[in-house]
Amino acid sequence: MYQEERLLKILDYISENHAMSVMDICSLLDVSRDTARRDIVKLVQEGVVIRTHGGVALPQLKKEIATYQERLIDETDSKNKIGKIAAKLVQDRETVIFDVSTTVQSVAEQISAKNITVVTHSIDIVGILSGREDLQVYVLGGYLHTKNRLLYGPSVIDKLRELRADKAFIGATSIQTDGLYFPYEDDVSVKKEMARRSDQVIVVADFTKFTSKSVYRLDFDLVDILITDQEVPNEIREVLHNKNIAIIQCEEKDKDKYEEDNKDES
C-alpha cells in the first residue's frame, strides 16, 4: 500500500474517532511501528493532525486533505480563464500530457486543436475527452484512487518513460521561490517524469497557490511557462525571470487577452 493511500485511511479513521494510536495504525494498515511513525510525521508536517502521547489527533480547527471534487469548485472562474488561455497553446497533431489537476482539467475541457494525442492518468480528463472522435487518448494505467480521481502505481512512470510529448500541462498545490510543491511524494515523481518526457512544460495555477504551502518539491528547472490569473509576487517573478520561465497572466478585463513576459527580455 502506498503512503498516500495509508494517509487517507488514517484521516478517515481519525475523522470518525478523533484520535488514533500508533498501535491502531499498525493494526488497521498492517504496517510496522516505524512505518506508522513515518506516516504520523507526514500528517503532522501537513498540519492535518497534531501529535499526542502515543499517536495523533485532530487539531481544534479540523483541516482535511480536500477531495478532487471539493477542489473542483474552488476558484472556478480563475481556473476557466487559465484553462482557456492554456488550451490555445495546443496545436493540431501534437502529443500532450495532462496531469491530474482541476485547473489542468479546465485546459482539457477547452481544447480546440484537432488530431492530438492526449496522455493522462486522470479519469475525469479521460471522461471529458472520450466523446471526441478527432483525438486519441492514451491512459496511463495503474491502481484506481477514487478520492483523487487518478490512476497510480509504478506502471504509470514506466509507461511515461516510453513516451515523448510536445507539451505537458501540470498543476501545483503551492508555488514558492524555490519551486512547485505538492502533498504526496509519489505524485511529484510522476510529475517529474511527465516534465522530463515533454519538450515544453506548462504549469497552470491560480493565485491561491502563491500563499499555500505543501511538502514535496518540483524544481523550476523543469518548467518553461507559468499561466496564472493574477499578478505573480515579486520575489517569485524575479526567480522565474532568472530561470527563463515565461509568465502568462490572464487579463481581468478581457479573457481573450494575456500578457507574457518574453523569455528573451532583459
Topology match between the domains 3-57 and 69-260: no
**What CATH number matches the domain at 69-260, 3.20.20.70, 1.20.120.1760, 1.10.8.60, 3.40.50.1360?**
3.40.50.1360
Q: Which CATH class is domain 3-57?
A: mainly alpha
Quick one: how many helices (H) and strands (E) in the chain? 10, 16
Specify the pLDDT at position 209.
92
pLDDT tens, 36-72? 888 888 888 776 778 876 788 876 433 444 454 454 4
pTM of the predicted model, to two decimals?
Answer: 0.69
Specify the pLDDT at position 70.
52
C-beta atoms surrounding 12 within 10 Å: 13
Reported confidence tier of residue 262, pLDDT bands at 50, 70, 90:
very low
Domain ranges of the chain: 3-57, 69-260
What sign does the CA torsion over 79, 85, 86, 88 have?
Answer: positive
| DSSP-based three-state secondary structure for 114 | coil
C-beta atoms surrounding 156 within 10 Å: 21
Is it the case that residue 6 has pLDDT exceeding 60?
Answer: yes
Specify the pLDDT at position 91.
97
Is it the case that residue 126 has pLDDT exceeding 60?
Answer: yes
Is it the case that residue 239 has pLDDT exceeding 90?
Answer: yes
pLDDT tens, 186-212? 889 999 999 999 999 999 999 989 988
